[in-house]
Structure 1
Amino acid sequence: MSQQPWQVVIIRHGTRTARKSEAFMNYAFYGEADGDYTTDYYLWVLRRGDETILVDTGYSAAGAEKRGRTVLIDPVEALARIGVTPEQAPPIVVTHAHYDHIGNISRFAGSELHIASSEYEFWTGEIAKKPLFSHFGDPHEVDDLSAADREGRLVRFSGEHELRDGIRLVEVGGHTPGQVMVEVDTSEGLVLLASDACHFVEELERDWLFASMADIPESYRALETIREHPADHLVTGHDPASMTDFEAYGEPLDGIATVIGRRP
């Protein structure tokens, strides 16, 4: 545990109600009845004293409209409520380059971006243009990553990367070629932000994969890595439980955010 622990703020900015058969790959194989299934959309804020790090930036209004997603609050507005603005240029961890995780990168034009090399190389390559991948990507948002690279703001890594004392990035792949999880030391213990290495708790408990996986064997291995992880708290990428399993943030994010750990 770091001597100076971090606080994790979980911000819910969007939602969608669909069917289980849309959420899980080959759902018919399990022989269970279909039903409504809620997917929530998050970004995460890591804070310690005057330091702030963003983990992903949520989806943009255009990205949400294109795919029929509900915007509960503009992510940048939500951040502003707790005093985090693009002008401060907070470092940003890109867990993976899907539209709902990099949708507002262009609004943080001065921020340093941290991304797995394999992730960046995939989304700037030809295979990413195939429909099975492009549905979840956005060429304009990938261009924002490339612009950051040209400006010297894109930091690439492979394997594990210690971003700050108490924050470690772990590349696991599976969902996307360079899917990253984030380990955070907090006053409440070790937090694992799984992002979309595990979308839902049910995915982990029942060994069901999400509908879109770039590498199926690696996706199963990522779930096993999470099961064996020594984390005290697991935060999945899209489970509504993130809004009930952790302490409510209160004002000024009342009803849209939860928190793990005290802010030193």
Structure 2
Amino acid sequence: MGDISVHLVDRGRVLTDMGYVLDGYTMGSASNRSPDHETAEFVVWNAVVDGPDRTVLWDTGANPEAGDGYWPAPLYEAFEYVDAADHTLEGDLDSVGYDLADIDAVVMSHLHLDHAGGLAEFAGTDVPIYVHEEELKFAYYSAKTTEGSIAYLASDFDRDLNWNVVHGDEHTLFDGFRLVHLPGHTPGVLGAHIETPAGDVLVAGDECYVEGNYTDEVPLGPGLLWSERDWFDSLQKVKELERRTGGDVLFGHDLARFESFGDGWNV
């Protein structure tokens, strides 16, 4: 294994009701028919995985115009991306010492609008965009029909992109960087096992939005869950990886967890 580093890239904050993130978080009961709802702050992040021969971008964040009508109104009402306009992919990469031209490949954990909004930066280039087969199918199905999920926007990914389709459960990008299929949130979520000299990193991504999804095994809220059965199986896969490697588990939107890792690993 060569020298690998993982740089975390802060892409801003989303405000949403905890009930979307943890199933049953706010439920009425006989003694409390109208419980108070809790709004919390969540992080949007990317990562730069710098390997011996390739620099890989993990996800591309959201379109900076998310709050100016680019995101569908019902989605923005539920997930308020309060500082989207302050976070361009180019600017945020620059803040951690990288340029778009440094990126040799992109891995899309999935194609939801808070992850795929920067793909336009790679349109018309030969930069490979890695995505799971099931995710690409479901994204087009959702964006091009009235079925599926409204969290996919064709304008994010229906472009001249150099798709590299990942099949099956695992895919090795290079020595020390392995992609893992984690269906549940969507059919084609990809996580990763990254080995760095500073320790292993396990990217759970949106398989687990927050610590409670992982530690307490509370599923995502119904609006964020494609398949609860697949979600549970994927959760056990990540937990087994943690038991086997002792790696740090990086969740999809947990702000405290994100901040606990500082700038990343081996940086």
Q: Report the CA distance between 1:116 and its aligned residue.
A: 0.6
Q: Over residues 232-258 of structure 1, what are the superposed CA-to-partner deviations in whole Å (9 max), with x where a residue is unaligned?
A: 2111110012343213xxxxxxxxxx2
Q: Would you say 1:56 and 2:56 are equivalent positions?
A: no
Corresponding residue of 1:23: 21
Q: Report the CA distance between 1:18 and its aligned residue.
A: 2.5
Paired residues for 1:132-147 under 5 Å: 133-134=149-150, 136-144=151-159, 147=160
Distance 2:240 2:95 in 1: 36
Corresponding residue of 2:32: none
Amino acid paired to 1:10: L
Q: Over residues 73-103 of structure 1, what are the superposed CA-to-partner deviations in whole Å (9 max), with x where a residue is unaligned?
A: 3222111234433334520001101011110
Q: 21-30 or 214-223, which moves further after superposition?
A: 21-30
Quick one: which of 194, 206, 214 aligns to 2:216?
Answer: 206
TM-score w.r.t. the length of structure 1 is: 0.83
Distance 1:244 1:89 in 2: 24
Distance 2:28 2:174 in 1: 42
8 Å contact kept, 1:23–1:37 = no
Cα distance 1:222–1:64, how it changes in 2: closer, same or farther (>3 A)?
farther
Amino acid paired to 1:246: F
Q: Over residues 125-184 of structure 1, what are the superposed CA-to-partner deviations in whole Å (9 max), with x where a residue is unaligned?
A: 2587447611x111111312xx22xxxx21112121101111101112111101110111
Cα distance 1:40–1:126, how it changes in 2: closer, same or farther (>3 A)?
closer
TM-score w.r.t. the length of structure 2 is: 0.82
Which consecutive unaligned segments of at least 5 residues does structure 1 have?
A: 248-257
Corresponding residue of 1:36: 39
Q: Would you say 1:94 and 2:97 are equivalent positions?
A: no
Corresponding residue of 2:93: 79
Corresponding residue of 2:122: 108
Corresponding residue of 1:182: 192
Distance 2:265 2:28 in 1: 35
Cα distance 1:154–1:75, how it changes in 2: closer, same or farther (>3 A)?
same
Cα distance 1:235–1:128, how it changes in 2: closer, same or farther (>3 A)?
farther
Distance 1:102 1:69 in 2: 15
Corresponding residue of 1:259: 264
Identity %: 21
8 Å contact kept, 1:89–1:112 = no
Q: Would you say 1:123 and 2:139 are equivalent positions?
A: yes
Corresponding residue of 1:224: 236
Corresponding residue of 1:251: none
Corresponding residue of 1:237: 252
Which consecutive unaligned segments of at least 5 residues does structure 2 have?
A: 30-34
Cα distance 1:128–1:27, how it changes in 2: closer, same or farther (>3 A)?
farther
Distance 2:199 2:140 in 1: 37
